Amino acid sequence: GTEQNRSKICRNRNFTRHLPDIIIIGVRKGGTRALLEMLSLHDSIATAQSEVHFFDSDDHYQRGLEWYTSQMPLARPDQLTVEKTPAYFPSVDAPGRIFHMNPSVRLLLIVRDPVDRVLSDYTQVFHNQLQKHKIPQPLEDLLLRDGELNLGYKAVNRSVYHPHMQRWLRVFPRESFHIVDGDTLIRDPLKEMKKVERFLRLEPQITEDNFYFNRTKGFYCLKEEGHERCLHESKGRTHPNVAPEILQKLCKYFQEPNRKFFELVGRTFDWK
Ligand code: A3P
């Protein structure tokens, strides 16, 4: 009735912007958007919808915390705010700058099989180029130089996680991070989101009723108060086929970087 309405209006008046309590720092093409959207299913979470690029861009950083705060969503005092900018993970400046803002901020990193991440990264650039009316280079031309794997190709380099993780761990203790398995998030989102809730010490709220598998999209979509929504069509794209010899080169190349990453974070992932 009216009383309920009034209390809702009063609650709305308490909405303000505050610095993020949680930051999704990467990785690019790891499933960062899916993670953000799935987090926003929780009533205690308010999310910034666009990538803010505050800590990786000198231009933005110079605008100061007041500007950064203005980029945050309106939130109730009891809500935690989250932003996601995958460019933070490889940024040399981001860890120190974030620590300076709040040494107890909670960091989410979503990783994915590095080989799949390469293909996803390529597909993203491919579509961006088409949009700009440029002709994309074939993947195999980018992956190989004189028959060997081209380590100078950005998409390959970006799938080497351990040097970045090492830099972050020089600034933040391991307990500040929760690492989300991006491959599991695709196949079994609820399982991963329960772990995220636990890490963030949120009341368990996300349930199987929040997800349904959309056969047309080939991915899970979200259900919230009876309303269904899938991620944008740019999420969950078809990847190009790659010759088995080249895939094998990629898998072999990532073995050592992957081992180093597992050692740094104290757990393993089910990567080829
Ligand atoms: P692909 O489009 O290559 O499959 P990011 O948001 O960091 O750019 O990551 C994009 C990736 O999120 C997609 O890469 C997709 O695999 C993954 N993803 C995870 N869960 C998803 C979901 N429910 N719907 C669509 N994409 C999802």
Q: What is the pLDDT of residues 77-87, one digit of tens each?
A: 999 999 999 99
Give the pLDDT mean for 33-50. Answer: 98
Residue 4 has pLDDT above 70, yes or no: no
Cβ(110) – ligand 1 distance below 6 Å: no
Mean pLDDT of all residues belonging to the chain: 96
C-beta of residue 222 within 8 angstroms of C-beta of residue 210 = yes
- ipTM, interface predicted TM-score of the complex: 0.99
Q: Taking the domains of the chain in order of start, what are their residue ranges? A: 2-114+158-234
Pocket test for ligand 1, best of 38, 186, 187, 232 (most atoms within 8 A of CB): 186
How far apart (Å, rounded) are the C-alpha atoms in residues 155 and 199? 30
Q: Which pLDDT value is given to residue 221?
A: 98
Among 29, 154, 217, 252, which one carries the catalytic annotation? 29
Q: Which pLDDT value is given to residue 62?
A: 98
Q: What does 177-207 look like in DSSP terms, one character per residue?
A: EEEEEHHHHHH-HHHHHHHHHHHTTPPP---
Top CATH class of 2-114+158-234 equals: alpha beta
Q: Is 29 an annotated catalytic residue?
A: yes
Q: Which pLDDT value is given to residue 12?
A: 65
Q: How confident is residue 10, by pLDDT bands cut at 50, 70 and 90?
A: low
Q: Which pLDDT value is given to residue 226?
A: 87
Q: Which of 1-15, 117-131, 175-189, 247-261 has the lowest mean pLDDT?
A: 1-15
Q: Which of 79, 72, 74 is nearest to 51 (CA)?
A: 72
Give the pLDDT mean for 106-127. Answer: 98
How far apart (Å, rounded) are the C-alpha atoms in residues 189 and 14? 32
Q: How confident is residue 9, by pLDDT bands cut at 50, 70 and 90?
A: low
DSSP 30: S
Contacts of residue 87, Cβ cutoff 8 Å, sequence gap at least 6: 26, 28, 51, 53, 56, 94
Percent of the chain at pLDDT above 90?
A: 94
Cα of 64 from ligand 1 centre, angstroms: 31
CA angle 159, 161, 162 (to 5 degrees): 145
Cα of 31 from ligand 1 centre, angstroms: 5
Residue 11 has pLDDT above 90, yes or no: no
